[in-house]
């Protein structure tokens, strides 16, 4: 369930579990993970101490004491779980890190799209990412300039990790609703005021997500303001009805009444 808030909280949990530990053994349980973490690479993790865990966008980096980095991306369904010594592992475990305190940290992923790669250098990964959405150095003016000339719809542009790192389908959708901007508008056609509103809106949505650790959905219901609310009344109380459209193969929800170009 990973977008930036979820990944940030996953990193904090993972850091608490393994930051001062060493990896005793590593196992891959799915062929998709074995493609990058070969038996030889898994064996090379044995005995490595973990220095720290960091995040950029939705990318996670486990820094090892030999300067290598385990680069993990949750994609659609990845998550970390901690397993007590001797306890049963949860379902859908794709990677197990056995720790020197007898516990295990496992990468769970029902859909098996998550990736785990050993890197000598994180620079090539970072080079592909734009600024963090909440980077205070990113001003509305700078954001507006980044959108200049882009003919792609603003909703699709927001999902481009080279533009902003960490914004996913839910927060792009929610952010545009906060900003009252039509998701179909060409990114380059936004006024400075609209660009400012979109940046503020995305940050507001991410802030909401951070406060709930990304856990918007509880049981059958959720607390999204537009996402997954097709046919429901707009929460701006303007009498509009939320519509679902598809952009770039992804669902977008918006209120035709208040989200104007």
Residue ranges that bind DNA, judged by CB under 7 A:
1-3, 6, 30-32, 35, 57-58, 73, 75-76, 92, 110-113, 128, 151-153, 156, 159, 161, 168-170, 186, 214-217, 247-251
Active site residue 34: no
> What are the φ/ψ torsions at residue 150 (nearest 5 degrees)?
-80, 125
Intra-chain end-to-end CA distance of the chain, in Å:
30
Closest CA to 176 of 260, 117, 51: 260
d(CA 75, CA 79): 10
User: Please, which residue, 22 or 170, has the CB nearer to DNA?
Assistant: 170
Rounded-to-10 torsion of CA 148, 152, 154, 158: -90
Q: Residue 65 Cβ, how far from DNA at the closest point, in Å? A: 27
Q: Residue 91 Cβ, how far from DNA at the closest point, in Å? A: 7
Burial of 167 (0-12, 13-18, 19+ CB in 10 A): buried
User: Please, which residue, 112 or 138, has the CB nearer to DNA?
Assistant: 112
Active site residue 250: yes
Question: In this structure, what token pair is assigned to residue 258?
Answer: 């208040």
User: Please, which residue, 3 or 132, has the CB nearer to DNA?
Assistant: 3
Active site residue 204: no
Q: Residue 154 Cβ, how far from DNA at the closest point, in Å? A: 10
d(CA 48, CA 29): 20
Give me the catalytic one of 55, 58, 180, 208: 58
Q: Residue 16 Cβ, how far from DNA at the closest point, in Å? A: 20
Burial of 107 (0-12, 13-18, 19+ CB in 10 A): buried
Give me the catalytic one of 3, 6, 27, 174: 3
Give me the catalytic one of 2, 5, 153, 183: 2
User: Please, which residue, 102 or 248, has the CB nearer to DNA?
Assistant: 248
Q: Residue 210 Cβ, how far from DNA at the closest point, in Å? A: 11
d(CA 2, CA 78): 7
User: Please, which residue, 51 or 75, has the CB nearer to DNA?
Assistant: 75
> What are the φ/ψ torsions at residue 141 (nearest 5 degrees)?
-65, -45
Active site residue 128: no
Element at 60 (helix H, strand E): strand 59-64
Q: Residue 15 Cβ, how far from DNA at the closest point, in Å? A: 19
User: Please, which residue, 130 or 234, has the CB nearer to DNA?
Assistant: 130
Closest CA to 107 of 42, 194, 199: 42
Q: How many residues does the chain have?
A: 261
Catalytic residue set? 2-3, 58, 250
């Amino acid at each position: 369930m990973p977008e930036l808030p979820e990944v940030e909280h996953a990193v904090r949990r993972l850091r608490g579990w393994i930051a001062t530990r060493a990896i005793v053994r590593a196992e891959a349980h799915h062929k998709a993970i074995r493609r990058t973490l070969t038996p030889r690479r898994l064996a090379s993790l044995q005995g490595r101490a973990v220095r720290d865990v960091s995040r950029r966008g939705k990318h996670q980096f486990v820094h090892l004491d030999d300067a290598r980095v385990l680069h993990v991306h949750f994609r659609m369904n990845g998550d970390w779980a901690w397993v007590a010594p001797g306890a049963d592992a949860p379902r859908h475990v794709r990677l197990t890190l056995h720790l020197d305190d007898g516990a295990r940290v496992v990468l769970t992923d029902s859909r098996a799209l998550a990736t785990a790669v050993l890197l000598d250098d994180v620079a090539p990964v970072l080079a592909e990412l734009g600024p963090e959405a909440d980077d205070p150095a990113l001003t509305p003016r700078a954001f507006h300039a980044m959108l200049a000339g882009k003919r792609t719809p603003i909703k699709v542009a927001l999902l481009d990790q080279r533009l902003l790192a960490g914004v996913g389908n839910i927060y792009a959708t929610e952010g545009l609703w906060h900003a009252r901007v039509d998701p179909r508008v060409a990114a380059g056609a936004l006024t400075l005021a609209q660009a400012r509103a979109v940046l503020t809106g995305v940050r507001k949505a991410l802030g909401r997500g951070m406060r709930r650790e990304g856990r918007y959905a509880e049981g059958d219901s959720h607390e999204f303001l537009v996402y997954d609310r097709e046919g429901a009344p707009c929460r701006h109380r303007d009498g509009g009805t939320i519509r679902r459209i598809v952009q770039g193969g992804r669902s977008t929800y918006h209120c035709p009444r208040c989200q104007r170009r």
